[in-house]
Amino acid sequence: MAAAVITTRFFVLGLERTEADEPARQALIAAGALMVVVELLAFGLAALLPRTALRAARFKLVALGLALLAFEAGTLYVTQVAMVRTSQAASHSQNTRIHELRASIVAQREAAAALRETSARQAQSSNVWIREAAAKQARQALDVEANLAGQVTELARLEAASAPTLADTLGEQGMIAYAVCRSLLIVLMGVVLFAVAGALLRARRTVINAVGPCEQEVVAEPVSQPLPTMRSTGGRFAAAPLAALAAAPAAFAQPQVTVQTPAPAERPTVATPMQSTASTMMRRADAVVTEPLETKHRAVVTQGAVQDSGTGEDDGARFQRVRADILAGRLKPSLRAVYAEHGATQAVARRYLAAMEASGEIKRVGQGYVLADASSGT
């Protein structure tokens, strides 16, 4: 921008020295400023545009910039030459005046000296009129010397203001070469800087487009999937695998503790319906499946070879075998017989018999049980 301002100033100075018409000078100054701005924008935009996609536009801008650059350099050269010529003419005029003053002062001093000499010779005459002429010549010499004081002062002022011009220092050819180099440097400063600025902006845009916007990394959080309950899967043995799957996360989270639990003590026989027992079993399985992580310490309970698996339609196979044997008449419906045949404890055997009694398959007679069909037949 500073180079553009300097170039515009050179335009103004050149037009002030070469153009006498004021309206024309103002129009030419505006045109020169416009050319300087367009030249800088042409080179800056040419450096900013993509090389391949807008090659034709870049070529046109560069051509326009070079044409304006050549015209601007020529204008600056002409302006500087005109300025040098003007200053040289002023210097020549000043030197001429100095020479004239010097010659005039010398001549007047010689005239004053001659008048004094003549006056001195005539003053020695015996004639009165000759002595009067001598006095008159002496007064003329004094007037000449009085006039010399003003010319001497002007000569001293002109000699103090005189300075060597570029043409006087470098000569005619040196002055032309210096003007050309200075014009090109002034023009190229702004052009090169604007071109570099455009290239830097283009490189920044290229890097941003190559890298792309930074995308935030999406971390997938684990989502707890509820396991299907025993009612949704169905089947006789659905509760066992579902309970094992539900216990797997807790097994990794907390260490397993194996606890040996003794056989439960005998308790009084309570007659409960099979539907209630099955509902209780399903609620227990649902609680295990849906809330596997709420229990802080889980215990793996191990017993003997024969383990109680409950009663109802969805229990293990032992209750079904006991029921089938009793209904077929192969097994007596008593605690001792169930224990001896299938290894069930008294509490388990009592629960089996209570379930069959609740379903109407057996009924209590005294201290024992008999088949309902057998008792009705008797």
Report the candidate in 102, 76, 87 with the shortest Cα–Cα distance to residue 186. 76
- Burial degree of 215 (CB within 10 A; 0-12, 13-18, 19+): exposed
Structural domain includes residue 33: yes
What's the domain range around 98? 2-206
Q: Which of 1-5, 167-171, 250-254, 330-334 has the lowest mean pLDDT?
A: 250-254
Q: Which of 198-202, 206-210, 267-271 has the lowest mean pLDDT?
A: 267-271
* Per-residue confidence band for 315, with pLDDT thresholds at 50, 70 and 90: low
Structural domain includes residue 229: no
Place of tokens 């260490």: 255
**DSSP reduced 3-state for 325:** helix
pLDDT at 239 (0 to 100) = 46
For residues 249 and 175, the model is more confident at: 175
* Per-residue confidence band for 261, with pLDDT thresholds at 50, 70 and 90: very low
DSSP bridge partners of 371: 362
Residues 183 and 254 occupy one common structural domain = no
**How much is the average pLDDT of 273-298?**
47
Query: Is the pLDDT at 310 greater than 60, yes or no?
Result: no
Number of Cα atoms under 13 Å in the Cβ half of residue 43: 21
Query: Is the pLDDT at 209 greater than 60, yes or no?
Result: yes
pLDDT at 316 (0 to 100) = 62
Please provide residue 282's backbone torsions phi and psi, each rounded to the nearest 5 degrees.
Answer: -70, -40
| Cβ 137 vs Cβ 115: under 8 Å | yes
Query: Could you say which of 206, 229, 249 is where a domain stops?
Result: 206
Residues 200 and 248 occupy one common structural domain = no
pLDDT at 258 (0 to 100) = 44
State which amino acid sits at residue 42: A
* Per-residue confidence band for 281, with pLDDT thresholds at 50, 70 and 90: low
Q: Domain total for the chain? A: 2
Query: Could you say which of 184, 206, 228 is where a domain stops?
Result: 206
User: The dihedral of CA 333, 336, 342, 343: what is its sign?
Assistant: positive
DSSP bridge partners of 259: 301
Report the candidate in 320, 306, 331 with the shortest Cα–Cα distance to residue 359. 320
Structural domain includes residue 257: yes
Query: Is the pLDDT at 256 greater than 50, yes or no?
Result: no
- Which string of b and e fits 17-55 if b means at least 16 CB within 10 Å? eeeeeeeeeeebbeebbebbeebbebbbbbbbbeeeeee
State which amino acid sits at residue 280: T
* Per-residue confidence band for 118, with pLDDT thresholds at 50, 70 and 90: confident
* Per-residue confidence band for 122, with pLDDT thresholds at 50, 70 and 90: confident
Number of Cα atoms under 13 Å in the Cβ half of residue 105: 15
pLDDT at 58 (0 to 100) = 81
**How much is the average pLDDT of 7-27?**
79
Query: Is the pLDDT at 30 greater than 80, yes or no?
Result: yes
pTM for the model stands at 0.40
Mean pLDDT score across all residues of the chain:
70
Residues 185 and 257 occupy one common structural domain = no
| Cβ 202 vs Cβ 48: under 8 Å | yes
% of the chain exceeding 90 in pLDDT: 0
- Pairwise CA distance, residues 359 & 170, whole Å: 133
**How much is the average pLDDT of 33-58?**
80
Query: Is the pLDDT at 34 greater than 50, yes or no?
Result: yes
Residues 159 and 296 occupy one common structural domain = no
Report the candidate in 272, 236, 267, 269 with the shortest Cα–Cα distance to residue 359. 272
Structural domain includes residue 143: yes
